[in-house]
């Protein structure tokens, strides 16, 4: 049995990943971060699911780090861009070095919890916009994680070559309840349906001939 730490945002991808980890019959725990994101509402979905499934989880407030970042619409007082995920405007949603910082924190936690693998939900749809979701980033983080501590830890992104619609297909096959996830970057009472994250989510449900259980404005 392998001990696995899943970096769990509360979104569709990491929710599917957590559920796959659970079904692997390994020992699972999760770690989530409040890094000052406007859509921190996603963290309430993390807590709700983990309590429901009796999964060991930790949500850490590292929101003060957003003082180091400038120009991201995710953490700054800048409007979240509307439109498709691949539009150049979506580059404003990049949070500098986010995954390297958060995965590094996850690795430190993994050492203290004697975890062997850290999983996160980067996927192929992120490659164009987010450099820290590309295969070469995962490969380098995995290499560093194996030499940074006395105990080598593997960093894995099981969905790195898959689209969001392919990930959703896995979850639908498992009959997962996607009302337990949050995707919208706005983080308001209802999903906006207009930001890139909402577009990609809705397109993924359409591609699978399925209905998104979330309510939209």
- Segment 37-55 shows an average pLDDT of 96
* pLDDT digits 0-9 by tens, 167-216: 999 999 999 999 999 999 998 999 999 998 999 999 999 999 999 999 99
CA 37 to chain centre: 12
Rounded to whole angstroms, the Cα distance separating 18 from 4 reads 10
Find out whether 215 and 189 touch, Cβ atoms under 8 Å. no
State residue 20 phi and psi, 5-degree precision: -65, -40
Cβ(180)–Cβ(146) below 8 Å: no
- pLDDT, tens digit, 9 for 90 and up, residues 19-33: 999 999 999 999 999
CB 23 within 8 A of CB 174: yes
The domains of the chain, with CATH numbers, are 3-207 (3.40.50.620)
pTM: 0.94
Say yes or no to pLDDT of 79 above 70. yes
Query: Which H or E element spans position 48?
Result: helix 42-53
Secondary structure (DSSP) of 36-85 = S-TTTTHHHHHHHHHHHHT-EEEEEE-GGGGGG--S-TTTSSSPPPBS-T
Arithmetic mean of pLDDT over the chain:
93
- Identify the helix (H) or strand (E) that includes residue 17: helix 12-23
């Amino acid at each position: 049995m392998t001990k696995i730490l899943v970096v769990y945002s509360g979104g569709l991808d990491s929710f599917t990943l957590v559920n796959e980890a659970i079904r692997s019959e390994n020992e699972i725990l999760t770690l989530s971060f409040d890094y000052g994101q406007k859509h921190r509402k996603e963290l309430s979905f993390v807590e709700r699911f983990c309590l429901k499934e009796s999964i060991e989880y930790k949500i850490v407030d590292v929101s003060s780090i957003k003082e180091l970042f400038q120009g991201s619409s995710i953490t700054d007082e800048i409007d979240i861009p509307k439109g498709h995920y691949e539009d150049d405007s979506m580059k404003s949603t990049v949070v500098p070095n986010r995954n390297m910082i958060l995965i590094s924190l996850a690795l430190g936690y993994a050492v203290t919890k004697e975890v062997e693998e850290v999983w996160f939900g980067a996927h192929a749809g992120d490659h164009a916009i987010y450099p820290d979701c590309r295969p070469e980033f995962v490969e380098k983080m995995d290499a560093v994680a194996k030499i940074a501590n006395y105990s080598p830890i593997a960093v894995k992104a099981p969905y790195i070559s898959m689209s969001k619609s392919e990930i959703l297909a896995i979850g639908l096959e498992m009959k997962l309840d996607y009302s337990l996830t949050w995707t919208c970057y706005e983080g308001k009472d209802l999903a906006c349906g207009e930001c890139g994250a909402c577009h990609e989510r809705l397109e993924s449900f359409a591609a699978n001939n399925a209905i998104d259980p979330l309510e939209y404005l």
